Structure 1
Amino acid sequence: MKTLTVSIVTPDGPVYESDVEMVSAKAQSGELGILPGHIPMVAPLQIGAVRLKKGGNTELVAVSGGFLEVRPDKVTILAQAAEKASDIDVERAKAAKERAERRLQAKQDDIDFKRAELALKRAMNRINVYEGRI
């Protein structure tokens, strides 16, 4: 079976590098499925899970936005933050979710609601990836 090389990189360094059969990710324009030989493109990513299919298994990586660059034999994801499911500290993610929910419920004038909403989305994404729910 044909494969393509996937690299997921953050400002802190590489998170994932492997050959896979298919990549699925949430772009701003919708869900993308990428197979070997895909046309070249660049797309901004939403907060979500990147699914990497290889040998009948699916690996998940939580990404917090960024960009996806596709070439016929390589996919590069430049993410603001990314974690493999096995590397996620789920207790920390649950604590972040609770903090964001408290901020959103507080209804105070000094709360930045957009920032709290994004924090909640990132925490929920990390929890869902850790638990294998996407």
Structure 2
Amino acid sequence: MSTFNAQILTPNGSLFEGEVSGVKLPGSKGSFEVKANHAAIVSTLEEGNVLVRKSGGDVTYTISGGFVEVNNNKLTLLAESVSES
């Protein structure tokens, strides 16, 4: 299974960083999932759930909105606020 690095940042610091196989996001124009070797993208995010797929099991976070950037197998999510569901 191919993996890539994902990082979730808040104004209070880093909430998550690690290797994942996918991240499902609540995009402004609808939800979408990022997997390894995804095309470069920058997107705004709406309030909703972020599903992080990692080897130890899936984790769901709830965000109040933010931005995501994907480039060179690295996903960086900047969230206004995050809580683990």
Q: TM-score range by the shorter chain?
A: over 0.9
**1:81 corresponds to:** 81
Asked if structure 2 preserves the Cα contact closer than 8 Å seen for 1:66 and 1:77, the reply is yes
The alignment-based identity, stated in percent, is 32
Deviation at 1:56?
Answer: 7.0
Shift of 1:33: 0.7
Relative contact order (alpha carbons < 8 A, sep ≥ 6): 1 or 2 greater? 2
In 1, distance between residues paired with 2:18 and 2:56?
A: 15
| Gapped regions of structure 2 (runs ≥ 5) | none
Looking at secondary structure, tell me which structure has more strand per residue: 2
Q: Does 1:37 align with 2:31?
A: no
Give the secondary structure class of the aligned counterpart of 2:24.
Answer: strand
Which structure has the larger Rg? 1
One-letter amino acid of the counterpart of residue 71, structure 1: N
Unaligned runs of 5+ in 1: 86-134
Q: Which residue of 2 aligns with 1:19?
A: 19
Instruction: Give RMSD over aligned pairs.
Output: 1.2
Mapped partners of 2:29, 2:79: distance in 1:
17
Structure 1 residue runs of 4 or more that deviate by more than 6 Å after TM superposition: none
More helix by share: 1
**1:99 maps to which residue?**
none
Q: Normalising to structure 2: TM-score of the pair?
A: 0.92
Scaled by the length of structure 1, the TM-score of the pair is 0.60
